[in-house]
A and B are shown apart, each in its own frame.
Chain A
Amino acid sequence: MTFHYSSIRRLAPWLLSLGMAALLAAPVAAAEETGEQIFKTLCAKCHGDKGQGVEEHHPDPLVGERPLDELAALIDKTMPEGEPEKVSPEQAQKVATYIYDAFYSPLAQARNQPARIELSRLTVRQYQNTVADLIGSFRSPGKWDLERGLEAEYSDRVGRRGRRGGGGSPALKRVDPQVKFDFGEESPVEGKLEAHRFAIKWQGSVLAPDTGEYEFIVRTEHATRLFVNDTEQPLIDRLVKSGSDTEFRASIYLIGGRAYPLVLEFSKGKTGVDDSAKQKAPPPKVKASIALLWKQPGRAEEVIPQRNLSPHTNPEQFVLTTKFPPDDRSLGYERGSAISKEWDSAATDAAIETAAYVATNLRELAGVSADDDSAAQQLKDFGVRFVERAFRRPLTGEQKAFFVERQFEDAPDPAGAIKRVVLLALKSPRFLFREPGAGGDGYDAAARLSFSLWDSLPDEPLLKAAAQNELRTREEVAAQAERMIADLRTRGKVREFLIQWLKVDRVLDLSKDKELYAEFSPQVISDLRTSLDLLLDDVVWSAASDFRQLLLTDGIFLNGELAKVYRAELPDGAPFEKVRLDPEHRAGILTHPYLLAGFAYTSASSPIHRGVFVSRSLLGRSLRPPPEAFTPLAPELHPDLTTRERVALQTNSKNCQSCHAMINPLGFTLENFDAIGRFRTEEKGKPIDAKGGYLTRTGERVKFSGVRDLAEFLAASDETHSAFAGQLFHYLVKQPVRAYGPTKHAELKQSFAQNEFSVRKLIAEIAVTAALAQPEKIAHTSP
């Protein structure tokens, strides 16, 4: 069990947020010289007072990427030039720390740069969603209302030899909440269907919450077919029953936050030649059952729950399979600030993939096929609409000629022309980059709004508003934002934000010591993740949408399985429901077992990981990675010490304390929870000490006794509100908030408070802010 500090770094990447403005400074004894003072006295003459360089001495700015300890050693050995003995190792350390934080480190450089709205390409997520919606805009809109489950038709047979829908009028139609049936040897509709031969067809849509590989599983003794997204090509084809297999699996990559059409067919009895007239003996009694399960990315197998199913059949979605290199996340959120060879060739492959999809589905999308001689004009019209939607604005006459007419003139045939139109559009900077050279008109506002909320392009109503010049005022934009927030895509994006904010995406393996925590099975881990999702949804998408409830609620979603582990009163096999667990001790996400187990070792809690999480994610403090990798003290070597005592022992040096003075007392408040997040009152026979504290940015020392105190403080703290608003802004907009004005961050925090900390309203506020921002004016006409 080795614990490298690098793993902490992975757990919590540096956040360039409000924390930047309040870099953690080591407490300094008043009489001592500070690093800044040393720099002023000994270094500024040659390097400039802000490290900017001095022409006649050392003209280059003092910036670089050396880690702090290396920088300190270098200064100790070589500085000041020619007389390094002037600086003691301690002084070198101090001045290095000052330089590092003030202007040397990459982070300090970023902070010191004047912020501006940078031209950015689409992020990977934005690209995937944009092409999906670009194609989707030529299909009917999907529907995801409050109805749940799948529409089911029970009939005497599936159409002839696998052709669907041929069974005549069904004996029974209803909505089934999920597919998990055991019919035994009986008929599912007594008196209307024979027991030895019947067929069922379920249809509707399935919501994929996260992006990734989904494995679908059908369990049945009989013939079955499953279609997901593609309703022509089955994902699982077992219409021919063959052999004794009863479980069929297939995987499909899906983009999160979208609903995909799904059809499941089942049939009992023989297909092929109808020999029933020849059969004298009654058909043998055979059992029949069927279940539809899935494995979401990183989760355990489960019957697809009702909450992920809808009886409405949504149109097929275009799911791009081209893989892009990951986006830059060095500032804590994905940004499209850089391009590379790998990115460009991925963009080329993606354009080719999309063009092929358009060609294959041309008749459906354009309403006309390329073979049709008389269809040239219709195809050109389709081309114009495609390019306009891809560019998020109407084309001028000249642009129509360039992007469409010219391609039709030069291509050998109409099918080739359409491919060229798509390729040219999707490789154009007008598609790949966000609002390039924006004049700041309604179309730009529409695009900013939709990218902020959906990571995708504007929909029809939004484009219409732009065309009618109805995106000028705050109210007009806010009304659109309000409408758009209800969309699945907003939920999908906010969900991804919350998961990153809580570092859930960084902790991939939650498994624990099998001896100590035998009950902490993969199924329990998977259910806990579901429980966390339910909690986040419950708070964020409730009417109040009160951010503070994320920290304060003592409600938690448990099912029968989880109840056993966390000692709650629920019957065996109970579905998820909201219960109160360990009243007086639980506090929202802070004590959610998924997070507590994530910020823990395999056999012990980790106050350090927990403290770092509270510092960085919740309070928005920035922490330097420790100067070297440490292995935590092994519990066996200190059998008498509690976890708290061990941590205190290991981090008691002055060096460590510069950060751990903040980290530890925050993490200690969670010591009432063990490595799987179960409540405890003692460890190794000693009572738990969950006292802790925090020195606020304004210098106030707050004391906590247990997590409820911490939660109350965080829920009421300016620092938490400000950190959340900043992080949410960056995730949604993907530009530095400072670029929107020096006071923008503070304003957001203020409106957050005025709106009773409604997350929903904060989302709207951020999207409206981004949509209405006026970029740098450029003295040119439109491109």
Chain B
Amino acid sequence: MLDRTRREFLRDLGISAAALPFVLNLPSLARAGEQPAKKRLVVMFSPNGIVPKTFWPDEEGAEFTLKESLQPLAPLKDKTLILHGVCDRIRGDGDAHMRGIGCLLTGTELFPGNVQGGSDTPAGWASGLSIDQEIKNFLQASSETRTRFGSLEFGVLVPDRADTWTRMVYAGPNKPVAPIDDPYQMFTKLYGRQKDQASLKSILDDLQEDLQKVKSVVSAADRRLLDEHTTLVRELEQELKADRASVGHAVPEIEPGVKEDNDNIPKITKLQIELLVNSFQADFARLATLQFTNSVGGARMRWLGVEKGHHELSHEPDSNEEVQAQLTKINRWYCEQMAYLAQRLAAIPEPGGSGSLLDNTTIMWTNELGKGNSHTLDNIPFVLVGGGLGFQMGRSRKFRRQPHNRLLLALAHGFGHHLEKFGNPNYCESGPLNLS
């Protein structure tokens, strides 16, 4: 207990010193009373690559056509940024799926280890932290941007095993962070305290009644102690009342009893998105990840009429038109989820600021592979929707084999975190991708 307090204290000290120059440099601080706009990032992950011909716009620039996989973004087109030509250049141990997810946000190699993939050498965990955690640490270090959780890791049907294929977020080298794929567990994490307080409040009248009964059977000398106890319970009641008045944000109602299985993926996704949106509204966190299944994930999207598992299908050659059409359907469904999330955020005004939540939130949808049947890590899909990071949206951009480390750097810079290198420094030359 003592230890933690001391650590917190030291941390707080470190922070103010480090954050001061940054805070003073912010132009918005010159205008009194106005808070700097919040910045948020959601990284959404889906597995097994995409179908390039139904995904990438042919054009470059502001005039472009959304192809079938990205059609759901049509209403959000002016807030959409599509990045083609960004490649995961990290090599080393592990097969493409393992490196695909493990190096995606960390930009660095996997450690050698004992997990054998479908090819290549066995590997372990990533050897560095992921960019979302890097930005989270940056925001949590300043009292201006610190939030209750900093970041929240959502999942949808992530298999119940910890290995290189199931982890995308890393708090540090060898420190994978497990996503929470049970919406009820996430709900407890976010709102458990409020729920407890409500339960507590509901028993206080009964407790007073019980205290009176017990008091009547103890001696006068002993009653003193129970009188004190009665007073303390009354104080607790008053505090709970005061507390309730101060909590502006209501606890969301979520559908109970949704079981964790393949066919419930759409329902679970909606629940998770609802909690994600609510936690941004309540400013519980500024970073979030939403991980659908896992690298090599085998979701069976029966609700789309696709019976076979996603990974199995992704190995089929380009010539198998029927399967390519199914894979397009699958990616289009993921895109719909991104669009739904964006629209939910767009519908909510930014508390204490201007515009909507989406104006200050960038959602980045990505994947561990460029293409499923070739296992390439080139042209990893990066589709961004939203705003707040100073990127020029409403465009289709095409790069020439740029390492994705530069994109990770651009995200950090978007938050005012001016890192020079992130992950493997060899892929950070020329600094952040210029997206403005």
A residues contacting B by CB (< 8 A) are 116, 118-119, 121, 161-163, 222-223, 237, 239-245, 269-275, 323, 337-339, 341, 344-345, 348, 351-352, 355-356, 371, 402, 406-407, 410-411, 416, 419-420, 423-424, 427-430, 432-433, 436-437, 776, 778, 780-783
In the complex where A162-B161, A273-B117, A436-B218 touch, is A429 in contact with B210 (Cβ < 8 A)? yes
Q: Is B393 an interface residue (CB 8 A)?
A: no
Q: With an 8 A cutoff between CB atoms, is B246 at the interface?
A: no
Question: What sequence of 0s and 1s flags, for each residue 187-226 of chain B, a beta carbon within 8 Å of any chain A beta carbon?
Answer: 0000010001001101100110111011011110110011
Closest to A323 in B: B1
CA distance A782 to B217 in the complex (A): 7
The residue from A118, A163, A239 contacting B222, defined by CB atoms under 8 A apart = A118
CA distance A121 to B229 in the complex (A): 10
Roughly how many angstroms separate A243 CA and B203 CA in the complex, as a whole number? 52
With A119-B222, A243-B127, A783-B216: A428-B210 Cβ-Cβ less than 8 Å: yes
Seed contacts A271-B163, A371-B257; 16 additional CB < 8 Å A-B pairs? A119-B218, A240-B164, A242-B123, A269-B114, A270-B122, A273-B118, A344-B232, A348-B236, A352-B196, A355-B196, A427-B203, A427-B233, A433-B214, A436-B218, A437-B214, A783-B213
Contact B199 A402 (CB under 8 A): no
Interface string of B12-28 (1 = CB under 8 A from A): 00000000000000000
Binds A, one of B105-113, B323-331, B407-415: B105-113
Whether the pair A161, B217 counts as a contact (CB closer than 8 A) is no
Say how far A510's CB is from chain B's closest CB, in angstroms.
Answer: 21
Does residue B228 face the partner (Cβ distance < 8 Å to A)? yes
Complex CA gap A780/B222 in Å reads 15
Are A339 and B229 in touch, CB under 8 angstroms?
A: yes
Q: 8 closest A-B pairs (Cβ-Cβ)? A: A242-B124, A437-B217, A119-B222, A243-B111, A241-B114, A344-B232, A272-B116, A242-B113
Residue of B1, B115, B209 with most partner-chain A CB within 10 A: B115
B292 at the interface (CB under 8 A from A): no
18 A-B contacts, Cβ less than 8 Å apart?
A: A162-B161, A240-B162, A243-B124, A243-B173, A270-B114, A272-B116, A273-B116, A273-B117, A273-B118, A339-B229, A355-B196, A407-B206, A428-B211, A436-B217, A436-B226, A780-B217, A781-B217, A782-B217
Query: In the complex, are the beta carbons of A420 and B203 less than 8 A apart?
Result: yes
Residues of A within 8 A of B127 (CB): 243
C-alpha spacing A338/B213, complex, angstroms: 20
Q: B206 near A272 (CB under 8 angstroms)? A: no
* A237–B162 CB distance below 8 A: yes
For the complex, is B235 an interface residue (Cβ under 8 Å from A)?
Answer: yes
A341 CA to B116 CA, complexed, in Å: 56
Residues of B close to A419: CB separation below 8 A: 196, 199
Which residues on A sit within 8 Å (CB–CB) of B232?
Answer: 339, 341, 344
User: Which residues of B lie under 8 Å from residue A273 when comparing CB positions?
Assistant: 116-118
List B contacts of A243 (CB < 8 A): 111-113, 124-125, 127, 173-174
Contact of A242 among B111, B206, B225, B228 (CB under 8 A): B111
CB distance from B22 to the nearest CB of A (A): 33
Interchain nearest-CB distance for A688 vs B (Å): 42
Structural contact, A271 and B217, CB atoms closer than 8 A: no
Which residues of B sit under 8 angstroms from A274, Cβ to Cβ? 116
Q: What is the CA–CA distance of A371 and B233 in the complex, to the nearest angstrom?
A: 32
**A271 contacts B114, C-beta separation under 8 Å:** yes
A429-B211 contact, Cβ under 8 Å, with A119-B222, A272-B163: yes
A433 to B123: give the CA distance in the assembly, Å: 57
Cα A119 to Cα B225 with chains together (Å): 8
Residues of B within 8 A of A (CB): 1, 110-118, 122-125, 127, 161-164, 173-174, 192, 196, 199-200, 202-203, 206-207, 209-211, 213-214, 216-219, 221-222, 225-226, 228-229, 232-233, 235-236, 257
B303: min CB distance to chain A, Å: 24
Distance of A344 Cα from B115 Cα, bound (Å): 50
C-alpha spacing A710/B111, complex, angstroms: 64
CB neighbours of A244 from chain B (8 A): 111-112
Q: Give the distance in Å from the alpha carbon of A430 to the alpha carbon of B207 in the complex.
A: 11
Closest B-chain residue to A336, C-beta based? B225
A248 to chain B, nearest CB (A): 10
- A423-B203 in contact (CB<8A): yes
Contact B162 A348 (CB under 8 A): no
Measured in the bound complex, the distance between the Cα atoms of B203 and A348 in whole Å is 12
A778 and B219 contacting across the interface, CB-CB below 8 Å = yes
Give the shortest distance, in Å, between B297 (CB) and chain A (any CB): 15
Contact partners of B207 in chain A: CB under 8 A:
424, 427-428
Q: Are A436 and B214 in contact (CB under 8 A)?
A: yes
Chain B residues with CB under 8 Å of A776's CB are: 219
Max chain B CB contacts within 10 Å: which of A242, A338, A428? A242
Shortest Cβ distance from residue B159 to the other chain A in the assembled complex, whole angstroms: 9
A119 touches B124 (CB 8 A): no
**Of B127, B222, B228, B233, most A-chain CB atoms within 10 Å:** B222
List of B residues within 8 angstroms of A428 by Cβ = 207, 210-211, 214
Distance in angstroms between the alpha carbons of A482 and B219 in the assembled complex: 33
A119: B residues at CB distance < 8 A: 218-219, 221-222, 225-226
Q: How far is the CA of A432 from the CA of B217 in the complex (A)?
A: 16
Bound complex: CA A341 to CA B232 (Å): 6
Question: Does B115 lie within 8 Å of A407, measured CB to CB?
Answer: no
Complex-state Cα separation, A344 to B233, whole angstroms = 8
- Known contacts being A239-B162, A339-B229, is A783 close to B214, with CB within 8 Å? yes
Q: How far is the CB of A214 from chain B (nearest CB, A)?
A: 15
- Rounded to whole angstroms, the CA-CA distance of A421 and B235 in the bound complex is 21
Find B218's partner among A245, A351, A437 (CB 8 Å cutoff): A437
Q: Which of A118, A240, A430, A778 has the most CB of B within 10 A?
A: A240
Contact assessment for B229 and A429 in the assembled complex, using a CB-CB cutoff below 8 Å:
yes
**In the bound complex, do residue B125 and residue A242 qualify as a contact, i.e. CB atoms below 8 Å apart?**
yes
User: What is the CA–CA distance of A384 and B173 in the complex, to the nearest angstrom?
Assistant: 49
Chain A residues near B200 (CB-CB < 8 A)? 348, 351-352, 423
CA distance A416 to B196 in the complex (A): 10
CB-CB < 8 A to A239: which residues of B? 162-163
A355, B202: Cα distance in complex, Å: 14
* Given A240-B124, A778-B219, A423:B113 Cβ within 8 A: no
Shortest B322–chain A CB gap in Å is 28
- Are A275 and B116 also in contact (CB < 8 A) when A242-B110, A420-B203 are? yes
- Which residues of chain B come closer than 8 Å to A356, judged between CB atoms? 192, 196
Nearest-Cβ distance from residue A367 to partner chain B, whole angstroms: 20
Is there an interface contact between A339 and B228, defined as CB atoms closer than 8 Å?
yes
Q: Which residues of A contact B213 (CB under 8 A)?
A: 783
Tell me the bound Cα distance from A371 to B214 in angstroms.
Answer: 35
Q: How far is the CA of A162 from the CA of B162 in the complex (A)?
A: 8
Q: From A351, which residue of chain B is reached at the shortest CB distance? A: B200
- B217 contacts which chain A residues (CB < 8 A)? 436-437, 778, 780-783
Bound Cα distance A245, B174 (Å):
10
Asked if residues B115 and A416 are in contact (CB atoms below 8 Å), the reply is no
Chain A residue with the shortest CB-CB distance to B197 = A352
Q: A271-B114, A427-B207 are in contact. Are A778 and B218 (CB under 8 A)?
A: yes
Residues of B with C-beta under 8 A to A351: 200
- Name the A residues within 8 Å of B257 (CB-CB): 371
Q: How long is the Cα–Cα vector from A237 to B111 in the complex, in angstroms?
A: 16
The answer for the CA separation of A778 and B235 in the assembled complex, in Å, is 29
Q: Report how far A430 CA is from B226 CA in the complex, Å.
A: 11
- Please give the distance in Å from B237's CB to the nearest CB on chain A: 11
Residue of A nearest to B214 (CB): A429
Cβ of B112: which chain A residues have Cβ within 8 Å of it? 242-244
User: What residues of chain B lie closer than 8 Å to A344, measured between beta carbons?
Assistant: 229, 232-233, 236
Q: In the complex the two chains form, what is the Cα distance from A782 to B214 in whole Å?
A: 9
CA distance A612 to B115 in the complex (A): 62
**Does the CB pair B124–A430 fall under 8 Å?**
no
Chain B residues, Cβ within 8 Å of A269: 114
Inter-chain CA distance A432–B116, complex, in Å, is: 55
| Alpha-carbon distance A237/B163, docked complex (angstroms) | 10
Question: Which residues on the A side are within 8 Å of B164 (C-beta)?
Answer: 240
B residues near A339, Cβ cutoff 8 Å: 225, 228-229, 232
- Which residues of chain B come closer than 8 Å to A118, judged between CB atoms? 221-222
